[in-house]
């Protein structure tokens, strides 16, 4: 990968699932065009994991809940490296990949998901860190990375302020409720039982996949 001009900087995101994809879009929106956003991801496609349950029963085809990542990133002006991350050189600000690349960065976001050897690295979770990143956390991280690169307001968001809604889809017996353990007590909890949960999940799937396929993270 070519070096950038002296007045431009590069933000690298390791991972392109829910958090990584959201962070990439958010960074590209916030940064001037002279700055690079590069995503490194071993899979060539995004999978809407909540709907995988329907695939074995023939209610969804695999292509209904997946889409190719490279065209989406390319359309948004985001670099995409379809390789594994094999290491980080923090002193020299480089990410090593399975293809032998050494990708330099000015700002780095690791959104690789929870399948990590937590005991090998100081800082990640799940108990004393924030490796399992939500999309809300990704947007906050992206805003702060953009502020570090080209200036602007940084944002602090305690985990207790993050919204977390869980949809348990069980047909007519489903329920929608506020579920995350980091949320404090609420005078008006969001709880709704009945078939609404099923329709809410279907609506979320359609809106989410359609918006991400076209590079418009409206949620």
Contact 176, 165 (CB under 8 A): yes
The residue whose two tokens read 């960074």 is 27
Q: Which tens digits make up the pLDDT trace of 138-194?
A: 777 788 888 888 888 887 766 555 555 555 555 555 555 554 544 455 554 555 556
**C-alpha span between 71 and 177 (Å, rounded):** 35
Q: Which tens digits make up the pLDDT trace of 181-202?
A: 444 555 545 555 566 666 677 7
Query: Is the pTM of the predicted complex or chain greater than 0.85?
Result: no
**C-alpha span between 199 and 181 (Å, rounded):** 25
Statement: residue 42 has pLDDT above 90: yes
Measuring CA to CA, which residue among 130, 121, 186, 131 is closest to residue 157?
130
| Homologous superfamily (CATH) for 10-157 | FAD/NAD(P)-binding domain (3.50.50.60)
Q: Where are the domains of the chain?
A: 10-157, 160-219
The residue whose two tokens read 């695939």 is 55
**C-alpha span between 164 and 161 (Å, rounded):** 9
Statement: residue 53 has pLDDT above 70: yes
């Amino acid at each position: 990968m070519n070096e950038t001009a002296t007045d431009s900087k590069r933000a690298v995101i390791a991972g392109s699932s829910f958090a990584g994809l959201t962070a990439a879009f958010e960074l590209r929106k916030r940064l001037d065009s002279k700055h690079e956003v590069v995503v490194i991801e071993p899979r060539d496609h995004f999978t809407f994991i909540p709907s995988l349950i329907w695939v074995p029963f023939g209610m969804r085809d695999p292509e209904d809940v997946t889409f190719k990542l490279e065209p989406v990133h390319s359309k948004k002006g985001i670099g995409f490296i379809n390789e594994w991350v094999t290491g980080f050189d923090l002193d020299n600000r480089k990410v090593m990949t399975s293809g032998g690349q050494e990708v330099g960065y000015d700002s780095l976001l690791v959104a690789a998901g929870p399948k990590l050897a937590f005991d090998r690295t100081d800082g990640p979770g799940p108990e004393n860190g924030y490796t399992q990143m939500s999309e809300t956390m990704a947007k906050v991280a992206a805003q702060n990375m953009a502020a570090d690169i080209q200036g602007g307001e940084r944002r602090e968001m305690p985990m207790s302020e993050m919204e977390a809604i869980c949809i348990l889809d069980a047909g007519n017996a489903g329920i929608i409720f506020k579920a995350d353990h980091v949320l404090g007590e609420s005078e008006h909890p969001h709880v709704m039982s009945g078939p609404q949960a099923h329709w809410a999940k279907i609506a979320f799937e359609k809106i989410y996949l359609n918006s991400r396929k076209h590079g418009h993270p409206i949620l």
